Amino acid sequence: MSNTIQKNLDYKKYVVSSKLQYFKPHATKIQKTYAEEISSSLNRDSKFIDPKYFYDKKGSDLFEKICSLPEYYPTRTEISILKQLRDELPSYLDENFRLVELGSGTSVKTRLILDILVKLQDTTEYFPIDISEILTESSEQLLKDYDGLHITGLIDTYEGGLQFLKNFDDKKNLIIFLGSSFGNFSPNDGYKFLQKINSTMKHGDLFLIGLDLVKDKQILESAYDDSQGITAEFNLNILSRINDELDADFSLKNFSHYAIYNEKKQRVEMYLKSLVNQSVIVSKSNLLFNLEKDELILTEHSHKYKLSQISKLLHSTGFQIKQTWLDDKKHFSLTLASKN
């Protein structure tokens, strides 16, 4: 079976205009996967919810608020580094590249890359991959702001999007993974994910990744437990989403937000803490489970890295580092790499 036929079976194509189309997995495929994952992750002693489920419409909106908080340094710091790339990135782009973005969100940082590409080529292709429906809204706004831009969006997981992209055509891709989302992976899963990206790439493709660096514990914990309580609202919203989409009966007042930096494992750990002994039903997952008072549900690991670790990780997963950019305080990094 050809790739094209398989894609048509798994995805529905939506054509919005001559410059905008997007693909979305059939609803039954999404629902089944979501229900199965939640059933598996909550039906165990060490309960967790995958952080990719933070980003429904409300979750995406709340995360945009988090990005502008004074305590949350990653976004503004990464933007400052991206501005450095205006003069330096073009030297690596010797011919037309399609921009592929993992986790596009509202595309604020994407514009800094698009600003570079549109100066280098007459038409620019943008291929955003995001699990949130916000992708379509941000795409329509981008088309208003950039002449010569053509967008093919994919509303799916990163893994699904990368599989879709593989052998899509022969055009060179600049794949970007901005923010500190890579830190959400466990070390083993992160290693496998980088291998997945590498296997998707053709020789000549480029990969730009943002990675948060190890720093003072107080700076890190404040970034994930802000004084306005926006991060807490964002964390609790993941339960609201399960209530709405999987017919669950989580009572949000029975949970609190809890975040701590684990120095030994170099990661911020974010949890939902049960404030009482309680039972929860998730109907569409055929799940009933109990929580004791003070029991934790893990919702996010955010790993932080040393530069030496970044170099070792990328080289071991098949990449050749072209350049790494840092901010003045060395709080954050952007690394450009090619397939070895």
For the segment 192-205, what is each residue's pLDDT rounded down to a tens digit?
A: 999 999 999 999 99
| C-alpha 75, offset from chain centre | 13
Residue with the two structure tokens 């720093």: 215
pLDDT (average), residues 90-100:
91
CA 322 to chain centre: 23
Among 165-174, 249-258, 317-326, the range scoring the smallest mean pLDDT is 165-174
Q: Is pLDDT at 175 greater than 60 in this prediction?
A: yes
Q: Which amino acid is at 191?
A: Y
User: What's residue 2's pLDDT?
Assistant: 40
pLDDT band at 29, cuts 50/70/90? Answer: low
| Residue 3: pLDDT band with limits 50, 70, 90 | very low
Judge whether 21 and 15 are in contact, CB under 8 Å. yes
pTM: 0.89
Note the pLDDT tens digit of each residue in 54-63: 988 899 899 9
247, 282 contact by CB (below 8 A): yes
Q: Is a pLDDT exceeding 70 seen at residue 228?
A: yes
Nearest alpha-carbon partner for 124 in 156, 155, 154, 101 = 101
Q: How confident is the model at residue 4 (pLDDT cuts 50, 70, 90)?
A: very low
Q: What's the average model confidence in pLDDT over 226-235?
A: 98
**CA–CA distances in Å: residue 138 to residues 23, 100, 151:** 15, 15, 11
For 225-237, what is the mean pLDDT? Answer: 98
69: left (phi over 0), alpha (psi -120 to 50) or beta: beta
pLDDT > 90? residue 130: no
Strands 319-326 and 20-25: unpaired
